A = this chain, B = another copy of it.
Amino acid sequence: MADTTADTPVCDVEGTCYCPLTGVIDTLSRKYAMQLVSIIGAHDTLRFAEIEEHLPTASTSTISKRLDEFEDAGLISRTQYNEIPPRVEYALTEEGSEVRTRLEPLLEWATENR
């Protein structure tokens, strides 16, 4: 009984309320997504196999999918070197770094309280 229009989100409360929040949060709301941003951010660049070592419980295909999604979302860059055997390096973009910075307090707490 607060808003007058039908499709306005009901966010008229004390404090900030993140109602139908989409975008980056959807990308981060998937398995291993937050850990992955943090792991890449802890290094300058990382190769696929190194990421797998850091996230041993995640399947190859899931890591691959997360990386694609992050690239689409502009959170990471993918640099491919045309050598044999192939070499690919992943790194956070500026946006990705910003996300990682804001993710750290949460992950830190979660690490201490598991």
Contacts and interface: CB of A to CB of B under 8 A. Distances in A.
B56 A9 contact: yes
A70 to B, nearest CB: 14
Contacts of A53: 10
Contacts of A103: 106
A38 B20 contact: no
A35 B29 CA distance: 10
Contact of A21 (B18, B19, B28, B107): B107
A63 interface: no
A114 B38 CA distance: 21
A93 to B, nearest CB: 12
Contacts of A104: 16
6 contacts: A20-B35, A20-B56, A21-B111, A23-B114, A29-B34, A102-B108
Interface of A: 9-11, 13-26, 28-35, 38-39, 41-43, 50, 53-57, 95, 98-99, 102-111, 113-114
